[in-house]
Amino acid sequence: LLALAVTPLLGQMQTTFDTDIQILERLAEERYAEGDLQRAADLYYEIATKQIDERAQAKALFTSAWLLQLTGDSSRPIDLLTRSLRLDPEQPFDSSLYDRNFELLYRQALDIALRERRRAATEATHEGVAHLQAGRDTQARASLEEALVLDADNATALYNLALLDLRIGALPKALGDFERVVSLTYKDSGAEMNGLRARSLVGIGLIYQQQGRQQDAEQSFLEPTRADPKETSAWKSLGLLQLNTKHYAAATTPLQRAAELLPTDRTVIIALVESLDKSGRAGQACLTLNGFLNQHPADAELWQQLAALEESRGNTEAAILALESSITADQENHSGVGLVSAVRLAT
C-alpha cells in the first residue's frame, strides 16, 4: 500500500521538475508513435516557439516540416523548412532518411534561406560601414560581426572588420581577415571583388611594414598594382615605402603613378617632390611642385618649399617669387609661414 501511495507522488514530483519543452517533446514522440502526424507536427512547432537557442528552434521547425510533409500538406513544409534553415543552414541532412520529395523541398528551402541570409548580411554590412566611417567603432563591429554570422564568406564585411582591427592595433586579427578576403576573392574577376582583394593586399602590406618586414610589404603592395593599374592605395603605399627606405629613384615611379591618379593628394605630391629631388632630379621636382601650386595657390608652406628647391638650384629669382607667393598665401600669418618667408626674403 505504501508503494502504491509513493509511486504517484514521485511521478508528480518528476513532472513538476520537467520543463515545458521536455513535456512537449515527450507528447510529440507519443503522438508520432501513435501515427498522429498532424498533432506531432503541431507539437514540434510549439516547441520551436518556446526555444531560446536558435539551433534547437531550427531543429524543431525542421521536424515539424518533415511531419507535415508526411501528412500530405503541400504548403506549410516549405515555409517551416525555410525558417529552420535561415536560423541554421549548417544543420546536418542525411538524404537516405527522407523521401525524394522532401529532399527536393529541403534543397529549395536551403536556397531561399541562404539568399535571405546573404541579403540580411549585406544590409548589416552597409550599416557597419556607415558606423565605421562615422567613427562609431563599437556599433561598426557589432554590425559587421552580425553580417559574418549570417554569411561567413561576406568579403566586404571581413575587409571592413579587418580595417577596424588595423585601426585599433589588433594586427594578427586584421592580418588573418585580410588574408581571408584575398582567398575569397582570388578567382572573382568582378570589379568590386578585384578592388577588395587589392585593398586587402595593401592592408597586409601595411601590417608587414609595421612588423618591419619591408620586403614582404613591398611584394604585397606590388601585387595589386599588377592586377589593377588604377589601384591608388597600392601605388601610394609602395612609393611611400620605398621613399622611407631611402630608395629614392625606385620611389619615383609609383609616386608619379599615384600623383596621376590622385592629383589633389598633398601627401603624394610632397613625397614625389622629395623622391625626385633626392634622386638628382631637382628641376623635375620644381616643375611638379609648381604644377600642384598652380591648382592650390593658397598653400603657403609648399610655396616656401618650392623657394628652397629653387634656391638650391641657384635660381634666386624663382626662389624670390616663390617666397612672395608664400607671403601672399599667408598674409595674416595664421600658419607662421608668411613671417618666415618674409624674414628669408629680407635676408
**Cell numbers describing residue 61:** 521547425
Q: Is the pLDDT of residue 335 over 90?
A: no
Interatomic CA distance for residues 51 and 240, integer angstroms: 56
- What distance, in Å, lies between the first and last C-alpha atoms of the chain? 121
Read off the pLDDT of residues 179-200 as tens digits, 9 standing for 90 and up: 999 999 987 778 888 889 999 9
Instruction: Write down the residue that cell numbers 531560446 correspond to.
Output: 52
Predicted TM-score (pTM) of the model is 0.76
| pLDDT over 90 percentage in the chain | 80
Please say whether the beta carbons of 284 and 276 come within 8 A.
Answer: yes
**Cell numbers describing residue 25:** 517533446
Which residues does 81 contact at the CB level (< 8 Å), separation at least 6? 61, 62, 65, 105, 106, 109
- pLDDT average, residue stretch 310-336: 83
- pLDDT average, residue stretch 8-25: 60
Please say whether the beta carbons of 53 and 87 come within 8 A.
Answer: no
Q: Is the pLDDT of residue 345 over 60?
A: no
Read off the pLDDT of residues 90-120 as tens digits, 9 standing for 90 and up: 999 998 999 999 999 999 999 999 999 999 9
pLDDT bin (cut points 50, 70, 90) of residue 3 is very low
- What's 95's DSSP letter? G
Interatomic CA distance for residues 63 and 43, integer angstroms: 10
pLDDT bin (cut points 50, 70, 90) of residue 245 is very high
